[in-house]
Chains A and B, each alone.
Chain A
Amino acid sequence: AQTVTQSQPEMSVQEAETVTLSCTYDTSESNYYLFWYKQPPSRQMILVIRQEAYKQQNATENRFSVNFQKAAKSFSLKISDSQLGDTAMYFCAFMKGTYKYIFGTGTRLKVLA
């Protein structure tokens, strides 16, 4: 069975600095999809970034980028130039083609002024 592990329950970062959130997963599949979702205090779930496993190039969305290491089954999220609005719970998620999603337990990120 697939599992997703986020080993950092809480993290904090100073405004304008860079922070990396870790995510590891376990699967025997070769083709799958990975996502990072953000949940601010408003509790909305917002897609941050996504990565297809067959793509070697790491995905980037503005200040957000991933370090995808397929062999190591690692999918970390880097947030550059952190902003107060980045304060949220971040969830890593795994999905294979059958649309069954597995989420990690989340990392609560606090950006400090």
Chain B
Amino acid sequence: EAQVTQNPRYLITVTGKKLTVTCSQNMNHEYMSWYRQDPGLGLRQIYYSMNVEVTDKGDVPEGYKVSRKEKRNFPLILESPSPNQTSLYFCASSHSLYSNQPQHFGDGTRLSIL
């Protein structure tokens, strides 16, 4: 089954404790992206990647890191999480051959930073 898998689905942690949210897709997609969703703000793009070793900032990259060492994986790293990073996070992927290809989204990760 074609899917984007995020882990964990839920996480409660404390300020300053490094964490990683993993994202993996099994569709051989070149493009992957991370978003955060906050009430009243919609989805905002954090980082995206066009292919292995190619990443770029979205609209809200501060406080986040990403890496794309393998095509299927695109982890989101919070080196020193803060309460303002409490949010619902989505990973997405798509083929990049045609720009109108829809993104496939993971099921989301609910992150709470205390």
**Which residues of A are in contact with B by a Cβ distance under 8 Å?**
4, 6, 33, 35, 43-47, 50, 52, 91, 93, 95, 97, 99-106
- Using A43-B108, A44-B105 as known contacts, say yes or no to A99 and B43 having CB atoms under 8 A apart: no
On chain B, the residues within 8 Å of A33 by CB distance are 99-100
Q: How many A-B residue pairs have CB under 8 A?
A: 56
* Cβ contact within 8 Å between B42 and A45: no
| B2 interfacial contact with A, CB 8 Å | no
* Cβ contact within 8 Å between A50 and B99: no
* Cβ contact within 8 Å between B58 and A47: no
Task: List B95-114 residues whose CB lies under 8 Å from chain A.
Answer: 96, 99-100, 102-103, 105, 107-108
CB-based nearest B residue for A51: B100
| B31 interfacial contact with A, CB 8 Å | yes
On chain B, the residues within 8 Å of A91 by CB distance are 42-43
* Cβ contact within 8 Å between A95 and B99: yes
- For this complex, into which size category does the number of interface residues on chain B fall? 20 to 34
> Can you spell out 27 A-B residue pairs with CB atoms less than 8 angstroms apart?
A6-B42, A33-B99, A45-B43, A45-B92, A45-B105, A46-B105, A47-B102, A50-B102, A91-B42, A91-B43, A93-B43, A95-B99, A99-B31, A99-B48, A99-B96, A100-B48, A101-B35, A101-B43, A101-B48, A101-B103, A102-B45, A103-B35, A103-B43, A103-B44, A103-B45, A105-B41, A105-B42
- With most chain B CB atoms within 10 A of its CB, the pick from A6, A45, A50 is A45
